[in-house]
Structure 1
Amino acid sequence: MTEATQAPLRVAAVGCGVVWRHHLQAVLEMQPRLISYSAVVEPDALRRAAALKALDGQGAPARSFATLMEAIEADPDRTLFEAVDIMVPNVGNLHEHVAREAQNAGRHVLLEKPISVCIASGERILQAQPPEKVLMVAENAQYWREVLLVQRLIHQGQLGDLLSVRAKCWESAHPALNEWAADGSYDAGSFIADAAEGFVFDSGLHWLRPLRMFLGKAVRVSAVAGRSLLQMRGPSMTQALICFESGVTAIFEAILAPGAISEQPFFCIQGTKAEVQIDGFAGGARLFTIQDGKMIEEDLNGEFSGAIGWDTGYAGEMLDFAQAVLHQKTPEAGAAEALEDLRLMLALMKAAKSGQWEDVDQVDSLLSMEALQLEL
């Protein structure tokens, strides 16, 4: 059976906030359509109704439930949904709790990053997955088209020996400039504002994955952290140095600006032969070389066919998950990669608290942002 004729994977969307809208858009644009959201799970009645409305006209009507357990009990033979797309907030042990419910019910699992709040919890999720079922952690940066292009340039040696990498995770907290802010995600009382993790932890992981894709294994880190939004309990800005086993040091910066912030490159990679930059959310990449004694700037957008930019990563991860389940394709990145992202972020935050260099491999398996009690 070809992809064009195969029945799509039936998926329950668990958590219907901002991330759900991105996942849904990626699925609706998929050609051929390999995923069908046949159920929505959301405790908030208004969001649940909005999710159902968004699925109108997409085939058979979806069913809605307040909890995943309610959905599982209503579908004991797995005819309604074979897989779950878990997009609930990263609060306490909620990721592990919901993932384990799905695993125990024999469903394939797509779990939005971070895998959990500590290494031990993430390891339990990995160990609980039935071998015949797919477990994938959704990290759209793994499928970010500009990142994949730059990774290829690095591996092909077109930049020469790498000297330095600068990565900047930036957003505005103004509702006119940011859909998360418009949704209330950064308001006092929201899960991001009230949780110990904060913006740096929640968003910065999207920048740590590309750094690891470019540079390999991270070994130690030094950092400072602070608060740019008074209502946010966890860090909303950081500056860090990350040393990699390859000998290259990366500069990582993250900030959630209270108001205006200019368009800035997300990544700048400096090599002995060339420099390459990855632009902001709208996408684009540029290569800088010396030719005939002059510096040449080459727009790399021509390397792409179709859309570019941040949102293309969601399309890639949804397609990868569908193909892993339907065609037994090995995912582009195993779920264990999410553990390494988490380990690096926790080492960074530990360094911000201690004021010392911290070894990434020495992160305690039970360390979480809540346990760290980082004072800002």
Structure 2
Amino acid sequence: MVDRIRIGIIGAGGIVQWAHLPSLKLLRDRVDVRVVFSRSIERAKEVAMRFSIPEATDDWRSTVSRGDLDALLIATPNYTHKTIAVESVRAGKHVFLEKPIALSIGDGLEIVREAEKAGVNLMVGHCLRFWPEYVRVRESILSNAIGEPRVARAYRLSSFPRWAPWHRYRELSGGVVVDLMIHDLDFLRWILGEVEEVFGYTVRFTEASIDNTDHAVAILRFRDGAIAYVEASWAFPSNFPFTTYLEIAGTKGLLTVDNRSTATVEVFMESVQNVLAPVDKGAYFSELKAFIDWIQYGVKPPIEPMDAVEALRIAVAVHRSSEMGAPIKVSEVM
């Protein structure tokens, strides 16, 4: 019998409440959640009560320094990731860190180095690598179902995230590219390989954004010659439903994933159309299970810490390209 992993939760926002803690509840035979942190002690206590967590705190450093925790789940505002993650791994804790890994490549690299130095596991939550439909797309591509992938399109569109004021400032959130588009940038790199060049265009549309970018488009050219068009937005009306769409065109056919369609994954080939409906407990359960498997059994998840840094590098390249008004080599972005 493997001992349960003793875990602390740093952050008590929406994703913790509707994704992380319900997923950890399904893993309760392997996980012991002991404490939850929020800057608001009232919120920490409310979340602790709702999810039967023994302790609540408004002091994250006291959580990091506890000797009775094996791991920490960090889901705090983007601008806090580097400080909390570095102190956590230095304290000898395994860390599951929500994406993005950090707001600068240098900070991301520092987190990775400190985790390696401490000999602890660092996993960044790029959830599309666990999303059932997206996993099925990757499996289809690896099995040559649509031939060699040549062109991709990805959309991720929503209204402005007004629930947290830090989204309004680029220095705190990283903008729509680092916070939202990065999902698709990571996934496309995972299935199509390294990105050679980026041409990005970012704008500010909404009054909710103080000095931030809330709509972005990017053209990616991959090392093997494939190209992708990626669009992300926080600029849609408040009643617009969150919309994602993925399309991969290969030499033998086409794959699509549309979250507003009744069909989950569709495969189009000459005279043939297939609908694939993966059955799964969900991406957040799968990624947290992978994190626990890594700690308990040494089974590595399908994402390395440097993958998170490289996804951030592409995102930063989109911003740099937009500022320059010209394509930019991703390898030149530091």
Q: Displacement of 1:33 after TM fit?
A: 3.4
Q: Does 1:228 align with 2:216?
A: no
- Residue aligning to 1:176: none
Kindly provide the amino acid, as one letter, of the partner of residue 252 in structure 2. Answer: K
TM-score by length of 1: 0.82
Choose the corresponding residue for 1:193, options 168, 179, 191.
Answer: 168
Give 1:305's match in structure 2, choosing from 279, 283, 298.
279
Please report the RMSD computed on the Cα atoms of aligned residues, expressed in angstroms.
Answer: 1.9
Q: Check if 1:214 corresponds to 2:191.
A: yes
Structure 1 residues 119, 72: CA separation in 2 closer, same or farther (over 3 Å shift)?
A: closer
Instruction: Report how many residues are paired.
Output: 327
Determine if the alignment matches structure 1 residue 105 to structure 2 residue 82. no
Mapping of residues 290-301 of structure 1, within 5 Å: 290-291=270-271, 296-301=272-277
Q: Which residue of 2 aligns with 1:155?
A: 142
Partner of 1:352: 322
Q: Deviations over 1:48-88 (max 9, x none)?
A: 122112222xxxx5212212222245x3xx22x21110111
Within 5 Å, which residues of 2 pair with 1:124-273? 124-129=110-115, 130-173=117-160, 181=162, 184-185=163-164, 190-196=165-171, 197-232=174-209, 233-256=211-234, 257-261=236-240, 266-273=245-252
Question: Per the alignment, do residues 14 and 263 of structure 1 end up closer, same or farther by CA in structure 2, a change over 3 Å counting?
Answer: closer
Aligned: 1:315 with 2:295: no
Asked whether the 8 Å contact 2:243–2:260 carries over to 1, the reply is no
In 2, Cα distance between equivalents of 1:161 and 1:306:
27
The answer to whether 1:24 aligns with 2:21 is yes
Provide structure 1 residue ranges, at least 5 long, that are not aligned to the other structure.
174-179, 365-376
CA pair 33-227 structure 1, distance change in 2 beyond 3 A: farther
- 1: CA distance, partners of 2:130 / 2:179: 18
Distance 1:281 1:341 in 2: 26
Aligned AA for 1:108?
H
Query: Rg larger in 1 or in 2?
Result: 1
In the alignment, structure 2 segments of 5+ residues that lack a partner are none
- Tell whether the 8 Å contact from 1:27 to 1:33 is kept in structure 2 after alignment: no
1:53 aligns with 2:49: yes
Conserved in 1, the CA contact under 8 Å of 2:100 and 2:312? yes
What is the aligned-residue identity percentage?
Answer: 23
Q: Distance in 1 between matches of 2:141 and 2:64?
A: 45
- Counterpart in 1 of 2:312? 342
